[in-house]
Amino acid sequence: MNHYSNLIRKREIIMTKTNLKEVEKVAAELGTVENIARELKRVQSIKCRLKKQKGRATYETEMTEVIKQEQILKEARQLLDPKEKPVTQYEQADVDQLDYDETIKAIRSIQSKKTLSRWLTDVEGDNDEFRNACTIEAMLIARREMIKPVDENNVRKTEIQTIIDTIEESGELSQKQILELLKKLI
């Protein structure tokens, strides 16, 4: 157990010390999200095989290196394909930025979450996940009533916010990376 907790601690340290230049270098080398996904799968396979060999003398150093590579690849994937905030974590400010199509999609998503979380306890709807989903659904339905469908020639606020969040989370991005993210909006 102590050995496992040391590895988790090392992984947390690696995750906080990932070098942005390495991430940009890997993103540039691999080029596409598909290539990064293939490489990430390869590294995760190595990690899985290595987990079964805890008796090796070089286990800790090899595992640390594999975890570091995995984290760099995950951050490179995030750089090339920024993920939006999950609907289950929306607040009123997030809901206010949605356009009509995104609101409809979010309503379907949160209704699915409500259905899945309704019976997590013996009493129907008696859990925090369900209550949170109901609150978010009410905000989304109110938003849907206030807005109209979006024209194709307009840029969505949420797309701009996703790029802003990516820039803020990643620290100092190169001008080339920022331009690539902005060109996706056109």
CB 84 within 8 A of CB 158: yes
* Gap between the Cα atoms of 156 and 106, Å rounded: 15
Please give the model's pTM, rounded to 2 decimal places. 0.52
81-121 pLDDT tens trace: 888 888 999 999 999 988 888 999 999 999 999 999 988 88
Residue with the bigger pLDDT between 4 and 20: it is: 20
